[in-house]
Amino acid sequence: MAARIVKWNLKRYPTGVFFLFGAGRLALVRSQPARAIEFHTRAMAAQTQYRNLHHVSYWEMAIANLALADVRSSAECWKVLEQEATWSKSIYSYGRAVCLLASVQDGESKVGDGDKEKREEALRLMKLVPTLRQKIAGKSIPLEKFVARKARKCIAQNGRLLLPALELSVIFLGIAHAPRRIVEERMLPQVRSALAELKEGAQGYWDDLALARYLEGLCLRYIAFPDPDAVLDPAEVPALSREEAAKDAKACFEAVFKDGEKIELDHHIVYHAHYELGRLLACLGDELEARRHLELVLSGKYLEVGPSGRKGRYSMENALHMRANAAVEALHQKRL
């Protein structure tokens, strides 16, 4: 229905900004981020009077570029938002910082492309992130709290974070809306390369291991079962079979649970892994086990205990509860 409405209105109003916004969002939901960027580029060209409408497009393009694993282009979008937009300077600055870090870590930069300057700029932005937080009606913005915590961790680790752009992409559903080819050929190799470089005993080792295993499982899960709204290329044949990818994804999530008690800071990973395993099991037809993992997330139980003892709330808890409730409802209605 949404696609028909957007298509009909774009025929009548080909330069209608809000219809181009809708077309861009629809393309991203269908795992067509490159097409989404085209629509938002057209939306910006359609009018120049209201610059704040351009910021909507820059936000969407930043996420679409993360879905394409194009951190350099995403960094440019975050840069515009950081300099001009006012909704959340904290998130914009963090988005640009992690993309700069990732472009250096993942070899996106060319020789002589200013790696040192990028690292220095990323660290400068990371130091700013916690100071840019704001409150609405006396309440902090959960996503700002998350990025501020990650920024402090980056500074404590001398400018190092594991797969920061990919982690941010997960928060904005970038992996869910990435083309399967990108997940298999770009994202999964990045994760496995980072896993191979981890050294036991290093600072933040168990947190990094849990994050890497979680991201690996997530990539494999979307190779096995792409998002239901994704438009797939019929000629595309993944290197991994559905059964093999699903089996490996399950093993990755279970590895997160096994080492969960050793996590020092990033406790939310365990809860998100339970949620994703629940969705994977639902796709595999194991409704009973899927419901068990989803209800564990909603139960309020401590699913991990770190060195500091029992933990209270964890990062992005309310957002995860909303998604878990929606997943349980979809499971009940046989839509998952």
Q: Give this prediction's pTM.
A: 0.93
Class of domain 185-336 (CATH, top level): mainly alpha
pLDDT band at 212 (very low <50, low <70, confident <90, very high): very high
pLDDT average, residue stretch 132-139 = 90
CA distance 164 to 129: 15
Q: How many residues does the chain have?
A: 336
What pLDDT does residue 333 have? 84
- Is 240 within 8 Å of 296 (Cβ atoms)? no
> Inter-axis angle of helices 317-332 and 142-156, to 10 degrees?
120
CA distance 291 to 295: 6
Query: Mean pLDDT for the chain?
Result: 92
pLDDT at 109 over 70: no
Q: Which two tokens stand for residue 72?
A: 């350099």
Cβ neighbours of residue 136 closer than 8 Å, sequence gap 6 or more: none
CA distance 148 to 303: 24
pLDDT average, residue stretch 177-194 = 96
What pLDDT does residue 110 have? 53
- Is 229 within 8 Å of 1 (Cβ atoms)? no
